Amino acid sequence: MKRIQTVADVNLTGKKVLVRVDFNVPISNGKVTDNTRIRASLPTVEHLLRHSNKVILLSHLGRPNGQKNSKYTLRPVAQELSFLLRRPVLFLDDCLGPEVASTIDELGDGSVILLENLRFYAEEEANDPTFSAKLASYGEAYVNDAFGTAHRAHASTVGIPRLIPIRVAGFLMQRELEFLGAKTSQPERPFTVILGGAKVSDKIAVIDALLNRCDAMLIGGAMAYTFKFALGETVGKSLVEPNRVEDAHRALLKARDKKVELILPVDSQCTDLLDLEKKKIGKLRTVEGSIPDGWIGVDIGPKTIRSFGKCIADSRTILWNGPVGVFEIPACAEGTSAIAKFIADSKALSIVGGGDSIGALHASGRAEDISFISTGGGASLEFLEGKELPGVAALDRKQT
Catalytic residue among 20, 37, 134, 152: 37
Residues 242-261 contacting ligand AMP, CB under 6 A: none
198 is a site residue for ligand AMP (CB under 6 A)? yes
64 binds ligand AMP (CB under 6 A): no
355 given a catalytic annotation: yes
* Cis omega (within 30 of 0) for bond into 190: yes
Phi-psi label, residue 246: left if phi above 0, alpha if psi -120 to 50, beta otherwise: alpha
- Least Å distance, CB 282 to ligand AMP, is 14
Residue 239 touching ligand AMP (CB under 6 A): yes
> How far apart are alpha carbons 179 and 282 in whole angstroms?
41
User: What is the size of the binding site for ligand AMP (CB under 6 A)?
Assistant: 17
Known catalytic residue: 199?
yes
Environment class of 155 (CB within 10 Å of its CB; exposed 0-12, middle 13-18, buried 19+): buried
Q: Is 86 a catalytic residue?
A: no
Amino acid at 208: D
Beta pairing partners, 87: none
Residue 233 binds ligand AMP, judged by CB under 6 A: no
Q: Say if residue 178 is exposed, middle or buried (CB neighbours under 10 Å; 0-12, 13-18, 19+).
A: middle
| Region for residue 300 given its phi and psi (left: phi exceeds 0; alpha: psi -120 to 50; beta: otherwise) | beta
| Minimum distance of ligand AMP from residue 150's CB (angstroms) | 19
Cβ distance to ligand AMP smaller for residue 161 or 297: 297
Site for ligand AMP in 290-309 (CB under 6 A): 297-298
Task: Kindly tell me which of 216 and 274 has the beta carbon lying closer to ligand AMP.
Answer: 274
**Beta-bridge partner residues of 115:** 92
Q: Using a CB cutoff of 8 Å and minimum separation of 24, what contacts does 174-178 make?
A: 174/4, 174/6, 175/372, 176/147, 176/374, 176/375, 176/376, 176/379, 176/380, 176/383, 177/4, 177/147, 177/383, 177/392
Query: Binding residue for ligand AMP (CB under 6 A) from 99, 233, 328, 388?
Result: 328
- The nearer residue to ligand AMP, 96 or 222, going by C-beta atoms, is 222
**Binding piece for ligand AMP, criterion CB under 6 A, among 164-172, 210-218, 321-329, 342-350:** 321-329
Catalytic annotation, residues: 37, 199, 355, 378
Q: Where on the chain is the footprint of ligand AMP (CB under 6 A)? A: 196-199, 202, 221-222, 239, 297-298, 322-323, 325-326, 328, 354, 356
